[in-house]
């Protein structure tokens, strides 16, 4: 293999295919088309004179040469991303782009107006919001800051726990009024999380409360569960800050201590001294702490 002809873009392509196990997965990771990745791989193999992957029914498996090149790509990627973060960490201006990731529930129920206030305060900062229930890779700069619930945040990130998120059982007012209270929770139709939501703690709680068997309606987002409850399709465990603000709903339980979740504000250590990121972290932390009673479900 002629290493002198190897470039960083070549390494990125091989690394992406190796990690994804397919051209389509690599294409999504690199923001390229499937055809472009195919042409790039073909060109790399022709130029180096080796086969880097074995094409099979289960995808692309790296050859020894492919494994070597992917490992080299991973090392170079760590160095490149580390350099980018260190350079970004010296940025002292309250301007530039700030990419934040959070969940759909937090954005809709809490953060959207706070982000708007931050933008008005810092008009030279371009705010990009990535809404996802999956934790973005802050090491790879998929995002600069994460605002999300977590029991234990990733060790490679730094930040602070800024609030407790309380949850309780809610139902639509009309649905609750038509229900026989003597039957308790076991006479109710339940709405629960779909497997794609990955909410294992709620699944366990429903099993422990012996209401899982009454759950015949599952949704893959908390906002979707909120909408289903609001339409009178059943009851569900929902975040208090979200459900208490919905006039269609009534709380049917006290906050459930076993489902209380920590809310974290996170970034990468190399970025915490960037002026725009530091300003954002301070602003959001203060704004959320002011709304602690709402998050804890104790606001009157």
What pLDDT does 3 receive?
A: 46
- Per-residue pLDDT for 88 more than 60? no
What pLDDT does 142 receive?
A: 74
Q: Would you state the CATH architecture of domain 3-88? A: Orthogonal Bundle (1.10)
- Per-residue pLDDT for 189 more than 70? yes
Instruction: Provide the CATH number for the domain formed by 96-165+261-296 in this structure.
Output: 3.40.190.10
Using one digit for the tens of pLDDT, what is the confidence trace for 53-80?
Answer: 998 888 899 899 889 888 888 888 777 7
Q: From CA 89, how far away is CA 92, in angstroms rounded?
A: 8
Lowest mean pLDDT among 4-8, 186-190, 211-215: 4-8
- Per-residue pLDDT for 2 more than 90? no
> Comparing C-alpha atoms, which of 208, 212, 171, 174 is closest to residue 193?
212
What pLDDT does 191 receive?
A: 96
- Per-residue pLDDT for 178 more than 90? no
What pLDDT does 203 receive?
A: 94
Is the separation of the CB atoms in 157 and 267 below 8 Å? yes
- Of the pLDDT bands very low, low, confident and very high (cuts 50, 70, 90), residue 179 is low
- Of the pLDDT bands very low, low, confident and very high (cuts 50, 70, 90), residue 85 is low
Q: From CA 207, how far away is CA 262, in angstroms rounded?
A: 22
3-state secondary structure 6-21: CCHHHHHHHHHHHHHC
Q: What is the per-residue DSSP string for 199-251?
A: -HHHHHHHHHTT-GGGEEEEESSHHHHHHHHHTTS-BEEEEHHHHTT-TTEEE
- Per-residue pLDDT for 9 more than 50? yes
Q: From CA 188, how far away is CA 140, in angstroms rounded?
A: 45
Query: Edge-to-edge strand order for the sheet containing 236-239?
Result: 236-239, 167-172, 249-251
**Which fold is adopted by the domain 167-259?**
D-Maltodextrin-Binding Protein; domain 2 (3.40.190)
Using one digit for the tens of pLDDT, what is the confidence trace for 258-288?
Answer: 999 999 999 888 787 788 888 999 999 999 9
Domain 96-165+261-296 shares a fold with domain 167-259: yes
What pLDDT does 78 receive?
A: 78
Is the separation of the CB atoms in 102 and 111 below 8 Å? yes
**What share of the chain in percent tops pLDDT 90?**
44
> 86 versus 96: which is more confidently predicted?
96
- Per-residue pLDDT for 91 more than 70? no
Mean pLDDT of all residues belonging to the chain: 86
Instruction: Give residue limits of the domains in the chain.
Output: 3-88, 96-165+261-296, 167-259
Q: From CA 277, how far away is CA 75, in angstroms rounded?
A: 27
Is the separation of the CB atoms in 268 and 156 below 8 Å? yes
Using one digit for the tens of pLDDT, what is the confidence trace for 224-235?
Answer: 999 999 999 999
- Of the pLDDT bands very low, low, confident and very high (cuts 50, 70, 90), residue 135 is low
* Number of Cβ within a 10 Å radius of residue 200: 10
Is the separation of the CB atoms in 53 and 41 below 8 Å? yes
The encoded tokens of residue 247 equal: 């006039």
What pLDDT does 235 receive?
A: 94
């Amino acid at each position: 293999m002629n290493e002198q002809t190897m470039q960083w873009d070549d390494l990125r392509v091989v690394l992406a295919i190796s990690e994804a196990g397919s051209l389509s997965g690599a294409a999504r990771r690199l923001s390229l088309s499937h055809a472009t990745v195919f042409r790039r791989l073909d060109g790399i193999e022709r130029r180096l004179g080796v086969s880097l992957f074995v094409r099979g029914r289960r995808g692309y498996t790296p050859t020894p040469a492919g494994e070597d090149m992917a490992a080299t790509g991973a090392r170079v990627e760590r160095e490149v991303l580390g350099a980018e973060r260190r350079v970004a960490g010296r940025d002292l201006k309250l301007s530039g782009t700030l990419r934040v990731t959070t969940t759909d529930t937090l954005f809709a129920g809490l953060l959207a107006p706070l982000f708007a206030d931050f933008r008005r305060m810092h008009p030279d900062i371009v705010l990009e919001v990535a809404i996802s229930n999956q934790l973005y890779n802050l090491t790879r700069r998929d995002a600069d800051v994460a605002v999300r619930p977590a029991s234990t945040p990733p060790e490679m990130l730094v930040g602070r726990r800024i609030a407790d998120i309380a949850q309780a059982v809610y139902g639509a007012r009309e649905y609750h009024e038509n229900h026989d209270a003597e039957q308790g929770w076991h006479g109710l139709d339940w709405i629960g999380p779909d497997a794609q939501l990955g909410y294992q703690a709620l699944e366990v709680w429903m099993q422990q409360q012996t209401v899982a068997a009454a759950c015949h309606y599952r949704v893959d987002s908390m906002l979707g569960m909120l909408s289903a409850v609001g339409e009178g399709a059943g009851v569900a465990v929902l975040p208090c800050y979200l459900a208490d603000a919905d006039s269609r709903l009534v709380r049917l339980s006290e906050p459930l201590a076993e489902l209380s979740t920590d809310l974290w504000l996170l970034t990468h250590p190399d970025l915490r001294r960037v002026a725009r990121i530091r300003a954002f972290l301070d602003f959001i932390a203060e704004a959320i702490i002011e709304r602690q009673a709402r998050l804890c479900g104790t606001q009157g």
